[in-house]
């Protein structure tokens, strides 16, 4: 993939997240892709995004920067997540998603990084019932 294609794919991910298009998001990932989440641990992309969709009513993500890896197979995006939970509660936090690209031009994995302490204090485990 070219660097422009990588940047476009990462931006597309955030567009689909803001649109709450779970099927579209999952389609960006390889079938065996894994997500590593501070809240949920390691799980398949399909399971993770379906769980996220069930726990959410709306999402607005603002991307500040996309940084491409020096080996050509990764990218990191710094973003702000304005998240409305299924309960109606809203939280806003900043984080970084780290993507690995597959040779086929999709994501092979994603790791999520953010400070979980303030989020857990505010909302607890909102995935428990999702």
Query: Cα(82)–Cα(63) distance, rounded to whole angstroms?
Result: 11
Helical residues (DSSP H) of the chain, grouped into ranges: 3-18, 22-27, 45-55, 116-123
Bridge partner list, 41: 37
pTM metric for this prediction: 0.87
| Per-residue pLDDT in tens (0 to 9) along the chain, 130 residues | 999 999 999 999 999 999 999 999 999 999 999 999 988 899 999 999 999 998 888 889 999 999 999 999 999 999 999 988 888 888 888 999 999 999 999 999 999 998 776 666 656 665 666 6
Q: Are 33 and 46 in contact (CB under 8 A)?
A: no
Bridge partner list, 37: 41
Q: Are 85 and 91 in contact (CB under 8 A)?
A: yes
Query: Cα(72)–Cα(21) distance, rounded to whole angstroms?
Result: 27
Look up the CATH number of domain 3-123: 3.10.450.50
The domain locations on the chain are 3-123
Query: Cα(117)–Cα(9) distance, rounded to whole angstroms?
Result: 30
Give residues with Cβ within 8 angstroms of 13, minimum separation 6: 25, 28, 97, 99, 107
């Amino acid at each position: 993939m070219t660097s422009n294609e990588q940047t476009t794919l990462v931006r597309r991910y955030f567009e689909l997240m803001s649109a709450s298009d779970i099927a579209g998001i999952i389609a960006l990932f390889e079938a065996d892709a894994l997500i590593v989440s501070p809240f949920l641990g390691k799980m398949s992309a399909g399971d993770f995004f379906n769980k996220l969709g069930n726990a959410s009513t709306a999402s607005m993500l603002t991307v500040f920067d996309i940084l491409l890896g020096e080996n050509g197979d990764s990218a990191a995006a710094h973003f702000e997540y304005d998240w409305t939970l299924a309960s109606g509660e809203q939280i806003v936090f900043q984080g970084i998603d780290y993507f690995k690209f597959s040779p086929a031009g999709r994501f092979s994995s994603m790791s999520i990084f953010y400070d979980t302490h303030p989020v857990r204090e505010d909302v607890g485990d909102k995935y428990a019932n999702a």
